[in-house]
Structure 1
Amino acid sequence: MDDFLTPVSTVRITNKKESEPPQSPVSSQQKSPSTASRKSTPTSPEDALELLKQQPSYDELIACLRFLSKHHSENDIPTIKLPSPISAQLVQVLVSEIVTNHWVLLKEDAGDSKNSGFKLLLYCLSSITGINAILVRLRALIQEYKAESEGPGKLKRPDIHLNLETLLDLLENLLKGDGWIVEAWQTAKASAGSDATTLAVRMRPRVQEILSLFGGGRIVSLAAEAESIVKANKTAKDDDYEIWVADAQQYTTWLGRNIVTWQSSAGATENPKFGSDLFSKGLKMGHGDTLTKHVLSELVLKKGADPARFGMLLSNLPPTEQRKVLFSMLKLFSSKYLDRLGHCDSEDSRPLISAVAGALKSIIGETTSLKNYLVEWLTSSSGAGLGEGVGIRRAVLATVSQSRDDVVAVLEKSLGQFGDQLYIKHSPMLQQEAHAEVLLLSAGYVNRLSPIKLTLMMRTSVWLNAISNRLAAPHQKARLLGMWVGEALSNLVDKGDKRLNFGTEEEFEETATWYKGLTQVSDEIGTMEPLFESPPITLPKKKTTSSKATKAAARPPGQPPQTGFIIEELSDEEGPEEEDLVPYAKPESDEEDSDDDPTLIRRDKPKAPVYIRDLIRYLRDTENYDLQKLALTTAPILIRRKAEYGTEVKEHADELAGLLIGLSDKFDMEDFDDLRLQGMIALVVAQPKIMAPWFAKTFFDGDYSISQRASVLIVLGLTSRELAGFEASTYSAAAAFPSKTLPDRVEKLYLPQSTSLYPTPSSSTLKPLPPNALDGIATSLTESFLAPMAAEAADSATGPNALKLSTFTSMLNNNNNNPGKVRRITKTKPRVRSIPNTTAGVLSTYFFTPLISRFQAALHSSSSSRTRGILFHPYLLSLYLKTLGLITHACGPSTLSLPEMTGELWRLLLSTSVRAQAVGDLQLTGAVLFGFVALLEVNEDRMGEVCREMGREVVEAREWVSGVFAGLRGGDEGGEEERVRMLAAGVLVRLGEAVDKWRLVMVGDMIGF
């Protein structure tokens, strides 16, 4: 048994009192060399280095750190912060040994005093050398962790993740503050010397080191990798472990604060290019909009700020970065200040627009390149603030109009683009509307600056061709824009009977008046005071009278309050209307009141919100389960009830929609997604002209997840069905006031059940929404599309039509004198449902157009790589195409803008980007085919016109669907592939019938195809 215990080493401990004579004291010469050279208080950096290497005690460490923080060099800067061999060794020892062994004690010593060990350590490491040493140590530990984890067996050093956590904590505390860049610059300048000839040469590599360290992304990447290792080795209780240095967005914000501090310092004037270079590197870290927003807010949109500082930062950027930052800045101005102004028709909007124009003028100054970029923004094919309000275009034109040549250039380019045939045919209508606004605004400025210039331009062939091409455009809105622009410019130049007058229809008279009025708009450069305060949000006034006072006021005058009980004798005879009275059910026992302990019974249950502001307050309180549950269950009814009474919903719609979209299921509520969707649906139903474009813009521009963007599409799709009358929400009946409803028995007399093949609000209600709500609707529409073809195929397979007789229906006819008479089966075509043009116009203008126009703009935009990656997610893209198909189907065949909708959606389905994504993806292929199903369904009666106007697209669609059908094998009955194959077969049959029937019409257009 003793053989199992093998001694590794033997240590003998001798008593000092026995080994040494007590009378002979130990002299200093008898001490060990290390002990003799060790000093408790160093007098030079070399002594401090030697002390740190010998595992000092905590008191000795504090003394050493205090000495290093106070030992200044000739430049009045601590030696440890200057780049030198001795400082590099000191920092290396502090990071690799001291921090690892003493970090816990140093953290406990962290206090407000500057002489605490924690503050002294951070001060000694607050340099470029210190940050680099920490990053080198992090990289070494990460590589060691990867090497050992990939090898056989367990980790040899299980403390690696602990050391990584310590270093991340050190890095996080070290980088706190907004003066890092300024201090690094001053240190680099002091170490470079005072000689002017060598200063620039020595500063260049040190400046590059600062730029690569803070702007290169190395800090974020290493910190994020180390954080993932630390999280992987933590328990479930510590899942919320996060380091802000590892978050690219938070690090970008920190970098923005440091850039702001640098631009406000004297060093920015001495070397303005340094801040621009750092800003340029920060833009490439993936959160350029966040960086631009923060720097702009601090240097421009803050009281007492100097916009020239931001202009200096912008003017020293590379040309591509200048353009990117300027366009991002314009988008920020629009979204933060000008979008909520709507059409900006009121006089209250002029000061804010003038303030934005003043900010732009202060930033741009006299920089020619920035002025050229503004002209490009106004006239480029994807510019002019697509999807933004007219306010930002007015502000930019007010800035550009300070130079006559610039505003004339804007007018000439806009006019040439406005009349281009390819532009009219292929550009999104939302984009054409924005450029029409720019054309009218610039024409007004040119008319005031140089009337003869505008007169000469309207006598050229460019103007005549523009109006001719617009009037010959296939799209109705394109023709209307041409008419309105022609009348507006003719009113500026021509007089009397020479003025153009196309006679706009009454339906578009209000819009035409607004467009024509843009030529009279003249904005000036104003002060920036209105920008320093956020736009006020008007809240409905609270009622100051209490409920008791209200009841007292409602009592008729002179009538004393009733006290006691009122006894009234009722007759036993029941009238005919009392049959409908249903007695109240016996109340169930309250679980809370049945508790044995009365102290546990809750008596402070929140009441349901009565006003929209209360609903917003409930939704904001994400930590209270009762308020969240009550808000979600009340929101659909409250919003619908308040829709037409007062302005609460209209004033707070965007804020309420933002809260509902971003709400997360923190408490794991039942039917959470359904309630949240119903709240958003109620908002769109209440304000369709405002909220439908808002949701479309949020889908493309908002910073939301895939599931949140999908909920936006589901809301738009289901709302379009409800507005069109295909569905009716149960919340709409609950939100109706009792004075506007009839008893059920009486309502049946006046509103009989419809026998139409199409669902009506009384026969179809929205059930609780499943996660695939749109998929279910799409499936039902697909089945109704394929059913007639399947029936016809089965009918033709049973024999000739002449032999198909029906005796059953004649036998059921009691009024027929000859019961045995037989008659042939005749197929009746279902009645095509027609909805009012007003509803169809709302759906096409405010639902369909913003969705498809913004998608096309995102495809053509050069700065939307992140947006393209999100939009082309397979699930999101398929849901988007299904939403467009449902909106098109909801508009119906009587929509005035159906030709334009058909052309835009058909071309989108055939676009290279969509078809390339659909290759090998059955879900996306089915969504594309469903889009064709919706188009063929609503255009059933006008396929001749479709083949005449889009012959190439029809044949191309037929060829593509034929290839899809041939590439699918099917066979899995009820499976996804079989379903898509059947859908492709149905679309192929319908397209084949149209091509065969209208072949002669398509011959002229198909020459050379």
Structure 2
Amino acid sequence: MEGLLTPVSQSYRKSSQHDELLKISEPARSTSEAQNKFSGSSPEEALEALKSQPSYNLLLSVLKYIQKGVRGNHSFDIRKPSPQSAQIIHVLVTEIVPNYWTVLQDASAGQSKGDLQVLISCLQNLAGINAIVAYLRTLLKEAKPDSKPLKDSQASFNLSFVLELLTSLLRSHDDIKHIWNSVGSLQSPTQTRLIRQELVALFTNGKIISLSAEAEDICRQAGRLKNEIWISNTKLYVDWLAQNIVNWVGSGLDEEGLKVCTEIMTRGMRLGNSENLINTLITSLLLQNAENHETFEKLLSSLPSFEQRKVLNLTLKLLSDKYLNYLNDTNVTEDTPIIQAAAGVLKTITGNDETRKNHLLNWLTSGSGAGIGEGYGIRRAAVAVFSEDKEFMVTILEKSLNQFGDKLYIKHAPLLQQDAHAQVLLLSAGVYLNAVSNRIAASQNRARFLGMVVGEALSGLVHGKETKLDFKMDEMDTEEAKWYKSLVQVSDKPGPLDPLREMVSPPKPSNVSKITRPSVASAQRTPKPPPQSGFIIEEIQDDEDEDTDLVPYAKPDSDAEDSDDDPTLINRDKPKAPVYIRDLITYLRDIDNYDRQKLALTTAPTLIRRKANYGTEVSSHAEELATLLVGLQDKYELDNFDNLRLQGMIAIVVAQPKKMGQWFAKTFFDGDYSLSQRASILMVLGLGGREIAGFEVSEYGSTTQFPSKMLPAKIEKYYAIPSSSNRLESRAHNLKALPPNALDNLAKSLSQTFLAPLAAEAADSVTGPDALKLSSFTSRLQSRSSNSVKGKAKPRIRAIPNTTASLIASSFFFPLTSRFQAAMHSASATARGILFQPYLLTLYLKTLAILLHAAGPSTLALPQMTSEFWDLLLGVRGQCVGDLSITQAVLFGLVALLDVNEGDMRGLCERQGREVVESVEWVSGVFNNTRGGDVGGGEGGGEENEVKMLAAGVLIRLREAVDKYQAVLMGDLIGFT
């Protein structure tokens, strides 16, 4: 057949490019379709696809295949521990996220909103979060030694992607429960226990917070982050843990879930900000839903004993700060529902558990308990918990009575602590026992007052009106004494929680978005009236005493506001200075407005002082103003920022000393502030106390008079009578701004005043070898005192009115000393670490010394102030080892003690004999062991010479007292080693 068909002709041509494309198009299309869709059915094939640099569509196809396994559509579940799941998660975290994160975010912002969620669902498990944390640590190691700038570093890119991924994974309040349930029911209890330990360690070991914070810092420097990274904030993270526990408890707990929640709660309180965690649990579990009470008690019972006590202490603190400290303490029956509701919360926590009951009993009766410095409401609520338990009530009364009459307790316990325990005794009193004799014999006025109050109150319970104890003292007829005696009539019981529940606002979500202020349209400017034409007749009164030598200021050549080349940048709507306290608060809150911040700072000292005694503007907003000023940051690097902020806080203290002195003292110990902010609080208390005592401190002292109450200056001089106060106000204009080390300068000045008269006496006061040691310092003391003394005797500390002195003692000095003792005995290592920070401890001791000096020798509470301060100084001797600044502060404290008590050294030796002997031994050791000599004699001798001179001065004065009153001290010397 082939032979029959013969071709007529044959022709050849070259193949064109179009034909070649036609031949290739079909197989290329089929290959592309294969690459965009994953058709595998095993994890090994999914892993190979992810490793082969997949296209975006192929990546989504693989992720959806993995997601189906999570939903149970096939056998492979990436959440279950296995070699395949570990490898896939590693590739997703280290390769897919760095390369595709931006693409996934852009796609999720468009039509494919679920693309990013598919990746998150694949990694939202225990192994996925562990892999992210491990990769985060690896990237941080790469970023640190990288020689390239952060902006050009590849590690900074990857850090930002991984950090945003981790933030997206931990956003919901049921994430921990979801991750635990994803593990599934394991047959082996050992595997369940190991996974539970790994889960708890992952979320409570602090690595997520620390690594996120470090990565955020690097990304911020490189300018890679656009969104807030909340997981690096300890407060928000702890709140997120608490909300997860709340949601888990609310949805029902099995045995394993209870163990997980218990361990997370136990270790979560060790991350810091444990009060936030307890606040969320109490507010959301106990106050929001009464059905959760039983579950909460189970959760609490599962905690170790130490953690249960910590929860109880934090709850007491929460109830005080949030509900009970703001009650009106003038009427003990007015706030009974709130007191009973707080007692109901405490009753739920203690339950019928003897251990927790004993914790609460010890809190009421221990030496460092009963809520020192807190309002009486928390003690009233705590006593009410035992209202139906006679055995515990009798125990409270017996312990309180025994402690109340103990001589050592009367002598050494801080005053605020004695107040608190007196209230507990009166609240728990049911029988009368005579235990006030030691109180009445005490040397401190406050101790005697408390003894008489308790004696009369308890006697009134068992004796008639004619036979009851009556001391016939004016102090017993005061409002305070009547209030104390009314406490024995209080009989509270735990009640419903509705009053507290009404005061609770709904909990805020942990992923708090950045607050944006609504834009406010600028007000339309009203047209200015046309300039008046013609002449203006003005009557000018000539003043005969007017100084003709004064030259008026010349008019400025140009307006600074109009000097900008671009007229569109000129701000014509600058705010006016605030004239009301509410406007001042608005300005201080507006941290994004430079003009308002500057006006608020410059206006605050004057405005607060002028409004202090007129109306209730300052008294109603004092705490809010103080909170804003304490936490204010120098965002715009304003001139004289620190001084203006400090002057504003001093103005608040001077305006409301009784209230705000205690508030600042409480804030110093309890507030969440930096060391510099705490230091500013101490400066406010020290300088504010001196101004209240009548010393010239602030350049704003002349602004206390309200303008509407003052005559014009030209008329006032004909009617005003010159007085010392007028002279003080005129000199206030010449005062300079307070330097940052104002307290240090003041301490140095007071020390030189103390040492000056000792220079002439040093040679005669010391004999023997000590005279040779002190001889070199005698000449230096004389040279330093020559400029200030000039042969005159040392000026005595002027006596001030007892009302002012008692105010300094009760509202400034005692809150600082009592809260220090309470912080020393607290379970918080963080609080003790802050207090013993060298600079802060130095400033704290100097503040107390300055307040004691400001109170003066006429203070009725001087013996109690001396006792508390001396005990505190001897208690911090261990911190002086190796730190000259603390040693100098302790010596300055002794200087203030001796200076104020100079007129009653015999009484000081009688009351504080043992402290005198201990101080002589310690100061002598400081003097002998501190290097210093003639080198650099004069002003430039250094810190060691300053310490040695202070030690020499204190040692001379103490040895004078010991030699003069040796017979008085013999009783205290017996047994001293």
TM-score w.r.t. structure 2 length?
Answer: 0.84
The residue type equivalent to 2:618 in the other structure is V
Q: 1:17 to 1:982 in 2, by over 3 A?
A: farther
| Equivalent position of 1:894 in the other structure | 858
> In the TM superposition, what whole-angstrom CA distance separates every residue of 1:202-237 from its partner, at most 9, and x where no partner exists?
533332232222223343344445556656xx44x5
| Equivalent position of 1:945 in the other structure | 907
The residue type equivalent to 1:968 in the other structure is R
Q: Establish whether residue 340 from structure 1 lines up as the match of residue 326 from structure 2.
A: yes
| Equivalent position of 1:872 in the other structure | 836
* Map 1:595-634 → 2, pairs under 5 A: 601-634=570-603
Q: 1:351 to 1:113 in 2, by over 3 A?
A: farther
- Pick one of 391, 399, 420 that aligns with 2:377: 391
> 1:480, 1:333 → 2: CA distance?
29
| Equivalent position of 1:983 in the other structure | 950
* Map 1:850-861 → 2, pairs under 5 A: 850-861=815-826
> 1:842, 1:374 → 2: CA distance?
32
Moved more, 262-271 or 779-788: 262-271
> 1:390, 1:214 → 2: CA distance?
39
| Equivalent position of 2:238 in the other structure | 252
> 1:710, 1:22 → 2: CA distance?
79
> 1:535, 1:202 → 2: CA distance?
42
- Pick one of 867, 871, 894 that aligns with 1:932: 894
| Equivalent position of 2:136 in the other structure | 138
> 1:77, 1:482 → 2: CA distance?
78
- Pick one of 637, 641, 652 that aligns with 1:668: 637
> 2:601, 2:23 → 1: CA distance?
88
The Cα shift of 1:484 comes to 0.7
- Pick one of 208, 211, 216 that aligns with 2:197: 208
> In the TM superposition, what whole-angstrom CA distance separates every residue of 1:59-97 from its partner, at most 9, and x where no partner exists?
111111112112357698972222333322322222233
Aligned residues: CA RMSD: 3.9
Q: Establish whether residue 181 from structure 1 lines up as the match of residue 176 from structure 2.
A: yes
* Map 1:315-714 → 2, pairs under 5 A: 315-343=301-329, 345=331, 348-443=334-429, 447=430, 454=431, 458=432, 463-464=433-434, 466-506=435-475, 509-534=478-503, 588=556, 590-593=559-562, 601-714=570-683
Partner SS for 2:253: helix
| Equivalent position of 2:932 in the other structure | 969
* Map 1:77-156 → 2, pairs under 5 A: 79-111=77-109, 116-142=114-140
Kept in 2: contact 1:632–1:679 (CA 8 A): yes
Q: Establish whether residue 849 from structure 1 lines up as the match of residue 814 from structure 2.
A: yes
The Cα shift of 1:426 comes to 2.0
> 2:971, 2:701 → 1: CA distance?
52
The Cα shift of 1:693 comes to 0.5
The Cα shift of 1:783 comes to 1.8
Q: Establish whether residue 292 from structure 1 lines up as the match of residue 256 from structure 2.
A: no
Q: 1:371 to 1:707 in 2, by over 3 A?
A: same
The residue type equivalent to 2:385 in the other structure is T
> 1:36, 1:827 → 2: CA distance?
104
Kept in 2: contact 1:753–1:763 (CA 8 A): no
Q: 1:869 to 1:508 in 2, by over 3 A?
A: farther
| Equivalent position of 1:819 in the other structure | none
Partner SS for 2:560: coil
> 1:283, 1:626 → 2: CA distance?
42
- Pick one of 1001, 1006, 1009 that aligns with 2:968: 1001
Q: 1:334 to 1:73 in 2, by over 3 A?
A: closer
Kept in 2: contact 1:753–1:762 (CA 8 A): no
> 1:154, 1:689 → 2: CA distance?
55
The residue type equivalent to 2:58 in the other structure is E
Kept in 2: contact 1:417–1:423 (CA 8 A): yes
The residue type equivalent to 2:739 in the other structure is P
Moved more, 737-746 or 773-782: 737-746
Q: 1:153 to 1:349 in 2, by over 3 A?
A: closer
Q: 1:827 to 1:132 in 2, by over 3 A?
A: closer
> 1:721, 1:934 → 2: CA distance?
14
Q: Identity rate of aligned residues, in percent?
A: 51
Partner SS for 2:49: helix
Partner SS for 1:411: helix
The Cα shift of 1:133 comes to 2.2
The residue type equivalent to 1:170 in the other structure is L
Partner SS for 1:917: helix
> 1:214, 1:285 → 2: CA distance?
10
Q: Could you list the runs of 5+ residues in structure 1 that have no partner in the other structure?
A: 1-14, 193-197, 448-453, 537-562, 798-824
Q: Establish whether residue 905 from structure 1 lines up as the match of residue 874 from structure 2.
A: no
| Equivalent position of 1:167 in the other structure | 162
The residue type equivalent to 1:951 in the other structure is G
Moved more, 385-394 or 34-43: 34-43
The residue type equivalent to 1:175 in the other structure is L
The residue type equivalent to 2:950 in the other structure is L
The Cα shift of 1:408 comes to 2.6
The Cα shift of 1:331 comes to 0.4
> 1:593, 1:154 → 2: CA distance?
41
The Cα shift of 1:535 comes to 8.7
> 2:35, 2:614 → 1: CA distance?
88
Q: 1:327 to 1:976 in 2, by over 3 A?
A: same
Moved more, 927-936 or 343-352: 343-352
Kept in 1: contact 2:609–2:703 (CA 8 A): no
The residue type equivalent to 1:207 in the other structure is R
Kept in 2: contact 1:726–1:761 (CA 8 A): no
Q: Establish whether residue 44 from structure 1 lines up as the match of residue 46 from structure 2.
A: no
The Cα shift of 1:724 comes to 1.1
> 1:504, 1:238 → 2: CA distance?
73
Moved more, 591-600 or 369-378: 591-600
Alignment length (residue pairs): 902
Kept in 1: contact 2:143–2:153 (CA 8 A): no
TM-score w.r.t. structure 1 length?
Answer: 0.82
Kept in 2: contact 1:38–1:50 (CA 8 A): no
Greater RCO (Cα-Cα under 8 Å, separation 6 or more) = 2
Partner SS for 2:812: helix
Moved more, 485-494 or 982-991: 982-991
> 2:793, 2:753 → 1: CA distance?
15
| Equivalent position of 1:539 in the other structure | none
The Cα shift of 1:494 comes to 1.7
> In the TM superposition, what whole-angstrom CA distance separates every residue of 1:242-261 from its partner, at most 9, and x where no partner exists?
74334433322221221111
The residue type equivalent to 1:712 in the other structure is I
| Equivalent position of 1:785 in the other structure | 754
Moved more, 84-93 or 312-321: 84-93
> 2:871, 2:538 → 1: CA distance?
75
> 1:571, 1:320 → 2: CA distance?
80
Partner SS for 1:676: helix
> In the TM superposition, what whole-angstrom CA distance separates every residue of 1:344-392 from its partner, at most 9, and x where no partner exists?
6265533322332233334444444333322222222221112111111
Partner SS for 2:194: helix
| Equivalent position of 1:881 in the other structure | 845
Kept in 2: contact 1:778–1:886 (CA 8 A): yes
> 1:88, 1:120 → 2: CA distance?
18
